[in-house]
Structure 1
Amino acid sequence: MSGTPSQRQEHRAAPAGAARDDGRTRTTDRRTRVRERRGRASDRRTRVTVLIALAANLLIAAAKAVGGVISGSPALLSEAAHSVADSFNEVFLLAALRRSRRPADARHPFGYGKERFFWSLLAAVGIFVMGGCFSFFQGFEALRQGTHETTRGYLVGLIVLGVALIAEGGSLLRALHQVRKRGGRAALRDPALRTVVAEDGTAVLGVTLAIAGMALHMATGQVAWEASASLAIGVLLVYVAYRLGREARDQLIGQAADPELSGRIRALLRAQPEIDSVAELFTMKLGLDSTLVAARIDLVPGLDSERVEEVADRIKHSLAATFPAADQIFLDVTDSPDGETRQSPAATGERGGA
């Protein structure tokens, strides 16, 4: 073989380094595909839960509306509005599941994961406007004008509410079963599943309040009981809408990763022998299972440009392998006393982090 010994050594080292890079890239791609398959499978289960809730709410809304008109019950009409609002919200959640899994493109280089939060915010607005506001209206109208219900109307209303309680309870049990299968409270990070659980839980409480208000109205003849039940349903819906809306807002405007995850990322960086200190660490949730990580790190002195690039690349691969959700990793590397920053692609980061 021609060339000096040092040249021959470089020829042997280059393919080895390229092979390592190719192996890391294939490993990262494989992990990405596995994560995407798991995400799609989880979305399919959530979609079934949402469809069950949608079917239940459409049937219940129709039954409540008919029963409310026949009985003249403000609490039953409030519950009908509640079920209509939930039905629209389920449509929003189905849109969130479908649109948030679209791949990244030139206009959205970090993907469409935040669409999940946007449609969840619309669902919260729907609960507030269609459910809460209408319930307040029905309650105040009943107090102002009163209602006159017949025994037949009471019976129709109570039967409808009893059937609704069974249906809403079944939908809630289905949602809670999925939460348990996906790891308990951690599963509620999914805004679609969290919204379904909140809606079904609120529906069960709302139907219970409506039954209590109608029964007390029938026993005492005082419409104030039923009007109070309608107002209580309104308060409940407004509170749930506020909580869901606040969580969706935080995620839309750029919520950091969980402190526990951020702490583990910082600990991994500090454990690298080439890192002298971690000056700053920023994280942001880009979707349900996508997180951006940006760190400013100081390397120990004495590393040349090639070594800096190799170290930065290895650290990024290590982060991606240890934390699968961290699929967007950017490093700002300094290795000189005066804080001069090297701007090589491996040092500053590339989309995908590896």
Structure 2
Amino acid sequence: MVGTSKKAVYAALFGNLGIAIAKLIAALLTNSSAMWSETYHSFSDTFNQVLLLIGIKTSSRVPTEKHPFGYGKEQFFWSFIVATLLFGISGILSFEKGFASLYDPVHQIVNTDISFVILLISAIFEGNALRIAFNLFKDTIEARGEKVNLHKLFKEFQESKDPTVLTVMVEDSAALLGIAIAAIGIYLSDVTNNMIYDALASISIGAVLMLFAFFLAKENRALLIGEAMSKKDHSKIIESVVKIPEVNRIITLRTMHFGPNDVLVAMEVSLVDNINTDQIEQVIDTIEDKIKSVIDVKTSSKIYVEVERDSCPVDSKKMNDHKRYDEST
């Protein structure tokens, strides 16, 4: 997914750079505080993409003795920086500009047609970037052989562990919302000759940026701390492993993401009695193969299986699969 993530980032990068320059020119020509807020927003988005590309690049480094599980969490770190630093700063600048204009008695916007043209072009570019990121989720669902619908797209977005695509989608969504707010504010100020709407639009854009920044920071914080795989993937693992005849039950299952597609799976299972060491090794290999077959992980992902033998074997055909997983542990 790294290649597709890069595609989404590059699309957003070049689009945002052109948009940022156009918005800056419009802000200088129109004196609109809403356009200044949009300028801050687009320049911060452009720098965001650079940081996301740094995250993708550094996360691909091979594991070392000091970092035996690799550098996959670099993407989580840089995405967190994007959320806390750049979104926060552009949000604060927008707030400041809006409040300054609100209490400025001589604030007056001019050449509003320029603003509308630039905002329309921006909406087209941002919409295209959002479509590219949106299609990544769509392709993931289709790759599983599932039919794409709104519910599954929303679920995929919620469960995504790829902070790069997630950040691009949130940025582009915030950008489109900001464009709409700016257009409404400028239009109302133009037709009423009351500059309060332009100032309020700037403040509203700042609020949107801060809200989206909080959401991104929250998501990336969870990934940095160490977030488990989705419940759906856990269920897939459990359902596949408990079907192995030699497995009595799963005692513990713990997972953690080290990157968008790089996971650690640690499992403790109870096996039936009266099997020798060679058979145990074969069962462990079977368990690892089953796990790899039901989840989409890179070959560098680590799977650890610890086994113990029960003195009271159970008939797997007579026991409900999910009852063989001791969830209390």
Aligned mate of 1:129, from 79, 85, 88 = 88
Instruction: Tell me the distance in 1 between the aligned counterparts of 2:135 and 2:294.
Output: 29
State yes or no: 1:303 paired with 2:275. Answer: yes
State yes or no: 1:289 paired with 2:261. Answer: yes
Where do 4+ consecutive residues of structure 1 move more than 4 Å?
Answer: none
Unpaired segments of 5 or more residues in structure 2? Answer: 142-147, 312-329
What TM-score, normalized by structure 1, do the two folds share?
0.76
State yes or no: 1:97 paired with 2:71. Answer: no
What TM-score, normalized by structure 2, do the two folds share?
0.82
| CA displacement 1:146-181 (0-9 Å, x = unmatched) | 4532543x3333333233223323333333344433
Instruction: Tell me the distance in 1 between the aligned counterparts of 2:296 and 2:27.
Output: 51
Is the deviation greater in 48-57 or in 280-289? Answer: 48-57
- How far residue 336 of structure 1 moved from its aligned partner, in angstroms, is 5.8
The aligned counterpart of 1:142 is 101
Percent identity reads 32
- How far residue 81 of structure 1 moved from its aligned partner, in angstroms, is 0.3
The aligned counterpart of 1:208 is 180
- Matched position secondary structure for 2:103: helix
Unpaired segments of 5 or more residues in structure 1? Answer: 1-41, 338-354
- Matched position secondary structure for 1:170: helix
Conserved? CA contact 2:95–2:202, under 8 Å: yes
| CA displacement 1:305-335 (0-9 Å, x = unmatched) | 4433333233223333443428311122222
- How far residue 298 of structure 1 moved from its aligned partner, in angstroms, is 1.8
Is the deviation greater in 114-123 or in 312-321? Answer: 312-321
Q: Which has the higher contact order (CA 8 A, sep 6+)?
A: 2
Instruction: Tell me the distance in 2 between the aligned counterparts of 1:251 and 1:144.
Output: 42
Conserved? CA contact 2:31–2:110, under 8 Å: no
Conserved? CA contact 1:85–1:126, under 8 Å: no
Instruction: Tell me the distance in 2 between the aligned counterparts of 1:147 and 1:60.
Output: 28
State yes or no: 1:241 paired with 2:200. Answer: no
The aligned counterpart of 1:48 is 7
- How far residue 145 of structure 1 moved from its aligned partner, in angstroms, is 1.8
The aligned counterpart of 1:160 is 118
Cα RMSD of the aligned pairs, angstroms, is: 2.3
Letter in structure 1 aligned against 2:226: G
Instruction: Tell me the distance in 1 between the aligned counterparts of 2:230 and 2:189.
Output: 48
Instruction: Tell me the distance in 2 between the aligned counterparts of 1:330 and 1:43.
Output: 25
The aligned counterpart of 2:304 is 330
The aligned counterpart of 1:70 is 29
Kindly tell me the number of residue pairs found equivalent between the two proteins. Answer: 296
- How far residue 230 of structure 1 moved from its aligned partner, in angstroms, is 0.9
| CA displacement 1:39-73 (0-9 Å, x = unmatched) | xxx43333233222212211221222222123221
- How far residue 291 of structure 1 moved from its aligned partner, in angstroms, is 1.7
Conserved? CA contact 1:97–1:116, under 8 Å: yes
Is the deviation greater in 271-280 or in 158-167? Answer: 158-167
Letter in structure 1 aligned against 2:18: L
Is the deviation greater in 155-164 or in 261-270? Answer: 155-164
Is the deviation greater in 249-258 or in 114-123? Answer: 114-123
| CA displacement 1:82-123 (0-9 Å, x = unmatched) | 001101100011112222222222222222222121111112
Letter in structure 1 aligned against 2:284: A
- Matched position secondary structure for 1:145: coil
Instruction: Tell me the distance in 2 between the aligned counterparts of 1:229 and 1:168.
Output: 19
- How far residue 127 of structure 1 moved from its aligned partner, in angstroms, is 4.1
- Matched position secondary structure for 1:149: coil
Q: Kindly tell me: are residues 297 and 229 of structure 1, through their superposed partners in 2, closer, same or farther at Cα, counting changes over 3 Å?
A: same
Instruction: Tell me the distance in 2 between the aligned counterparts of 1:170 and 1:298.
Output: 51
Q: Kindly tell me: are residues 277 and 167 of structure 1, through their superposed partners in 2, closer, same or farther at Cα, counting changes over 3 Å?
A: closer
Instruction: Tell me the distance in 2 between the aligned counterparts of 1:174 and 1:300.
Output: 50
Letter in structure 2 aligned against 1:220: T
